Chains A and B, each alone.
Chain A
Amino acid sequence: MSFHLYQMDIDEECVDNLWNNLKSAIHRILNKDNKGLCFSELYHTAYTLTQLRRVMKMYTGLKEIITEHLLNNDQIYAKNHGMDSVYTIGITIFKDKVLGHNAINKQLQWTLLGMIEQDRKGAFVNREAIKNTCQMLMILSLEGRSVYEEYFENAFLDISTELFQLESEKFLAEQSADKYLTKVEAIITQECERVLSCMDISTKERIIQVVEQVMITDHMQTVVEMENSGLVYMLEHTKVQDLARMYRLLSRVPGGLKLMCDTMSSSVRQRGKALFSQEEVGANPVDQIQVGSLQDFTSRRTGPVDSFSLFEQNLLDLKAQCDHFLAEAFNNDKLCKQTITGDFEHIFNLNSRSPEYLSLFINDKLKKGAKGLSEQEVESFLENALMLFKFLQEKDVFEKHYKQHLSDRLLSNTGVSDEIEKSMILRLKTECGFQFTAKLEGMFKDISVSNTTMQEFWSHIQTMQISLSGVNLSVKVLTAGVWPTQSPAPKCSIPSVLSNAFEVFGSFYLEKHIGRKLMLQHHLGWAEVNATFYGSLKKENGADACASDAQVTRKHILQVSTFQMTILMLYNNREKYTFKEIHQETDIPERDLVRALLPLFWGKTEQRVLTKEPSSKELDRGDIFTVNDEFNCKWHKVKLKTIAAKKEATVPEKKETSHRVDEERKHRIEAAIVRIMKSRNRLQHKVLVAEVTQQLKKNFVPSHTAVKRCIEGLIEKEFLARTPEDQKAYIYVA
């Protein structure tokens, strides 16, 4: 009946009809609607289709129907009844029956690990196969990753841990820190890449964790502390690349950054301390010159003067280096930044003279250095100075010194430019507030008011036709309290020409400002005197515009201190004076006199203004001073160095400064206590001290004893009282 069918042309339409019949019957059966369906008919249809060689069509169609039906079943039935989907059931069965078989899973794991081991050795392995297997295990894990973990990942991680442990010990024994870190970084990259191409991506995090734990956390202490290659070595040899690598790796693990920062901190502090002790060597007070000992006058001038500047510069260099590391190697990390800042604060405040040195450092630049500097360089210098200033704890002490130095600059007219000065003050103001710079600004105001006053004075002189005997007077009126307090001006009998001129100004000024009092601080002033040297022919010396005759050989303008001027003016009357006579005539205290005289007779023959007899290195009260007519200088205007230029504060001045600072601090502490108590009314001792410290921190850190003393003082003055029930608490007494 059937063989002849093979020869028949196959009618596709007929095939489709047959299949559609079958299909609709299957649907009906699946939907339990099988009334009237006849098995033999359907079988006949299917059989015919087979004979027509349409088995594949049936197979595909049937698969579709079943899939559709099962999915339908999953959705409608399994889901609603909390049953596993067909897919899940399939997976579960495969997992239990196939993978659950001991021989299979052992072999599978062994093979996978073996392949990975080969891959790690660089041999060629079929990564695709590993990847597929891992994917299968992930699929078999269904929603989680339990199968993947159980049959592969756990073992993989264990084996890796062992491997890395061995490797890291091997590297550490043979290599230096930088090489070790390079290796670790390479391993991390390799492992990441391996995971991506061989395993499930979720393993990445875990294998990295293993590397981090085994190769970084477990050994970081050793690596960081390695001699001749560890962190300290890298810092000292500016190994930015290695530092960056160390930072990258250590910041991955908990405690890594802390370890780095701690180590770095102690290294930086040590280096800072070293800078500080370098400075210490040369730091002798310059100011010990007295009658009788002049020997090392010249040598003393350089050492300590430069030392502070060296210290600050070195500190800035170190800071710049650290900042460089911070930016280039440490990714501007917050903790690193804090550490560095903390270290510099520590270093900078190690030296109790830091406030003074910083002020000197600035003084040095604002006085002469900035002349050669571009605007940008000045700006960057000021920025650096301000940065150091921020490290400073005793900002109030700095202010005192700065005021002193600013005053010197303003009065001796040696400041480079008002613009720069003001720019610095503005910075300080921004940093510390209006109060901090109020006096500094007051000083500027005095100077500009003085300039106006002098203009008015001169027009007054012209209109009134008053003669000042050729004295070109310039007065700066300084408001008391604003300027650094001066010890009263040392005695000095100023030549009458000058004191007369000053009196004229005095009466002019007081007429305009009734009720004010003027006090001449001549030791703050300076003078320019016209000096005429007559070679070896004749000895004469004029202080005012030159004496009439044309016998002049050399004319110079000497810029000198008031004392020196007074001394030189003596020689208008006589040719020779002994030290004792000068002392008597001028009334200048001996100590100041020595200081004033020294620059006049010290140095090479042609540089001396005066000659001392005998020309020994000792200074005796009977020594005779005469004008040196061999004085020669290629400049017309000669500035005589003054020792009293006080680059560093003298001992008494320092005492003064510190005394003033202490006084002022006491007031501030008291004010703070009263402020706090007024608002809080009642406070525990500890809390009060803490709050006071907090409030004053910006300017200085008060010691606990100081605060305590102030509290006791206030109790005595009955601003505060101890509470009757608790001796350690205070109340505010209105």
Chain B
Amino acid sequence: EEDFPDDSTTPLGNYVLHGLKQLLDAQQLCDVTLLVEGKKFMCHRVLLAAASPYFRAMFTSPLVESRLNEIRLEEVRPTVMDAVIQFVYTGEAGLSLDTAEDIFVAANRLQVMPLQELCSRF
């Protein structure tokens, strides 16, 4: 609880996002595990669905994924996946010349538009 920022002037978006990042870091209330090449990423469905039409469709449509806790994602490498998740929870991607292209492809594929935009301007 002491992790909540004191500054009540922080915009609500940042405020909420910050809270979610704290929950991720603490691995609390996570309700989905993304399995990428054997590496597990525990996340919150709500945030993924809010940030990406891809995930929204995946979690809200009545297909297999809506009932699975662990979802295997192909065609993405764990480092790239980690970058995407970090971006979603913080708005920062930490792009470098090495990673930018791969992250762009993944952002496109996973339909995280702001990230794709960010990469294309890198």
Once the chains bind, are A40 and B71 in contact (CB under 8 Å)? yes
Interface mask (B60-90 → A, CB under 8 Å = 1, otherwise 0) = 0111111000011111000000000000000
Size band of the interface chain B makes with A: 10 to 19
**Which chain B residues border A1 with CB–CB below 8 Å?**
75, 102, 105
Once the chains bind, are A40 and B62 in contact (CB under 8 Å)? no
Interface mask (A253-297 → B, CB under 8 Å = 1, otherwise 0) = 000000000000000000000000000000000000000000000
* Bound CA span A1–B61, Å: 27
Contacts A1-B75, A34-B63 given; does A40 touch B109 at CB 8 Å: no
Once the chains bind, are B74 and A40 in contact (CB under 8 Å)? yes
| Chain B residue nearest to A3 in the complex (CB) | B105
Say yes or no: is B58 at the interface (Cβ < 8 Å to chain A). yes
Contacts A2-B105, A39-B57 given; does A44 touch B75 at CB 8 Å: yes
Say yes or no: is B54 at the interface (Cβ < 8 Å to chain A). yes
Once the chains bind, are A39 and B105 in contact (CB under 8 Å)? no
Once the chains bind, are B58 and A40 in contact (CB under 8 Å)? yes
CB distance from B79 to the nearest CB of A (A): 13
Interface mask (A26-55 → B, CB under 8 Å = 1, otherwise 0) = 000100001011111011100100000000
* Bound CA span A44–B71, Å: 14
Size band of the interface chain A makes with B: 10 to 19
Residue of A1, A29, A34, A47 most packed against chain B (CB within 10 A): A1
Once the chains bind, are A40 and B72 in contact (CB under 8 Å)? yes
Contacts A43-B54, A43-B58, A44-B74 given; does A37 touch B109 at CB 8 Å: no
Contacts A1-B105, A43-B54, A47-B109 given; does A38 touch B75 at CB 8 Å: no
* Bound CA span A29–B57, Å: 13
Once the chains bind, are B61 and A39 in contact (CB under 8 Å)? yes
**Which chain A residues border B65 with CB–CB below 8 Å?**
38-40
**Which chain B residues border A47 with CB–CB below 8 Å?**
109
CB distance from B50 to the nearest CB of A (A): 17
Contacts A43-B54, A43-B58, A44-B74 given; does A38 touch B105 at CB 8 Å: no
Which of B63, B74, B102, B109 makes the CB contact (< 8 A) with A39?
Answer: B63
Contacts A2-B105, A43-B54 given; does A37 touch B74 at CB 8 Å: no
Interface mask (A51-62 → B, CB under 8 Å = 1, otherwise 0) = 000000000000
Interface mask (B34-69 → A, CB under 8 Å = 1, otherwise 0) = 000000000000000000001001100111111000
Residue of A40, A42, A44 most packed against chain B (CB within 10 A): A40
**Which chain A residues border B74 with CB–CB below 8 Å?**
40, 44
Contacts A1-B75, A47-B109 given; does A38 touch B64 at CB 8 Å: yes
**Which chain A residues border B64 with CB–CB below 8 Å?**
36-39
* Bound CA span A235–B58, Å: 90
CB distance from B114 to the nearest CB of A (A): 19
CB distance from A49 to the nearest CB of B (A): 13
CB distance from A50 to the nearest CB of B (A): 10
Once the chains bind, are A34 and B62 in contact (CB under 8 Å)? yes
CB distance from A4 to the nearest CB of B (A): 12
CB distance from B122 to the nearest CB of A (A): 17
* Bound CA span A42–B63, Å: 10
| Chain B residue nearest to A36 in the complex (CB) | B64
| Chain A residue nearest to B57 in the complex (CB) | A39
| Chain A residue nearest to B71 in the complex (CB) | A40
Residue of A36, A39, A40 most packed against chain B (CB within 10 A): A39
CB distance from B31 to the nearest CB of A (A): 16
| Chain B residue nearest to A42 in the complex (CB) | B63
| Chain A residue nearest to B74 in the complex (CB) | A44
**Which A74-105 residues sit within 8 Å CB-CB of chain B?**
none
**Which chain A residues border B63 with CB–CB below 8 Å?**
29, 34, 37-39, 42
**Which chain A residues border B62 with CB–CB below 8 Å?**
34
| Chain B residue nearest to A37 in the complex (CB) | B63
**Which chain A residues border B58 with CB–CB below 8 Å?**
39-40, 43
* Bound CA span A12–B74, Å: 24
**Which chain B residues border A44 with CB–CB below 8 Å?**
74-75
**Which B70-122 residues sit within 8 Å CB-CB of chain A?**
71-75, 102, 105, 109
**Which chain B residues border A29 with CB–CB below 8 Å?**
61, 63
* Bound CA span A39–B72, Å: 11
**Which chain B residues border A42 with CB–CB below 8 Å?**
63
* Bound CA span A40–B54, Å: 9
* Bound CA span A39–B65, Å: 6
**Which chain B residues border A2 with CB–CB below 8 Å?**
105
CB distance from A506 to the nearest CB of B (A): 134
CB distance from A350 to the nearest CB of B (A): 99
* Bound CA span A38–B65, Å: 6
| Chain A residue nearest to B62 in the complex (CB) | A34
* Bound CA span A36–B65, Å: 9
CB distance from A474 to the nearest CB of B (A): 127
* Bound CA span A2–B80, Å: 15
| Chain A residue nearest to B65 in the complex (CB) | A39
* Bound CA span A39–B57, Å: 8
| Chain B residue nearest to A48 in the complex (CB) | B75
Residue of A2, A34, A43, A47 most packed against chain B (CB within 10 A): A43
* Bound CA span A1–B65, Å: 24
* Bound CA span A279–B62, Å: 108
* Bound CA span A34–B64, Å: 8
* Bound CA span A38–B72, Å: 10
CB distance from A58 to the nearest CB of B (A): 16
Residue of A29, A36, A38 most packed against chain B (CB within 10 A): A38
**Which chain B residues border A37 with CB–CB below 8 Å?**
63-64
* Bound CA span A40–B70, Å: 12
Contacts A34-B62, A34-B63 given; does A40 touch B105 at CB 8 Å: no
* Bound CA span A409–B50, Å: 123
Once the chains bind, are B73 and A40 in contact (CB under 8 Å)? yes
CB distance from A170 to the nearest CB of B (A): 68
* Bound CA span A42–B61, Å: 12
| Chain B residue nearest to A35 in the complex (CB) | B64
* Bound CA span A206–B113, Å: 58
| Chain A residue nearest to B59 in the complex (CB) | A39
| Chain B residue nearest to A1 in the complex (CB) | B75
* Bound CA span A42–B58, Å: 10
* Bound CA span A185–B14, Å: 79
CB distance from A55 to the nearest CB of B (A): 14
* Bound CA span A659–B56, Å: 118
CB distance from B19 to the nearest CB of A (A): 28
CB distance from B38 to the nearest CB of A (A): 16
CB distance from B11 to the nearest CB of A (A): 33
* Bound CA span A47–B57, Å: 14
* Bound CA span A40–B72, Å: 8
* Bound CA span A487–B3, Å: 152
CB distance from A160 to the nearest CB of B (A): 55
| Chain A residue nearest to B72 in the complex (CB) | A40
CB distance from A536 to the nearest CB of B (A): 147
* Bound CA span A447–B74, Å: 131
| Chain A residue nearest to B109 in the complex (CB) | A47
CB distance from A45 to the nearest CB of B (A): 12
* Bound CA span A44–B65, Å: 14
Interface mask (A668-689 → B, CB under 8 Å = 1, otherwise 0) = 0000000000000000000000
Binding site for B on A (CB under 8 A): 1-2, 29, 34, 36-40, 42-44, 47
6 new A-B contacts, CB < 8 A, other than A40-B74, A47-B109, are A2-B105, A39-B57, A39-B63, A39-B65, A40-B73, A44-B75
27 pairs across A/B with beta carbons < 8 Å?
Answer: A1-B75, A1-B102, A2-B105, A29-B63, A34-B62, A34-B63, A36-B64, A37-B63, A38-B63, A38-B64, A38-B65, A39-B57, A39-B58, A39-B61, A39-B63, A39-B64, A39-B66, A40-B58, A40-B65, A40-B71, A40-B72, A40-B73, A43-B54, A43-B57, A43-B58, A44-B75, A47-B109
The 6 closest A-B pairs by CB, nearest first: A39-B63, A39-B58, A39-B65, A38-B64, A37-B63, A34-B62
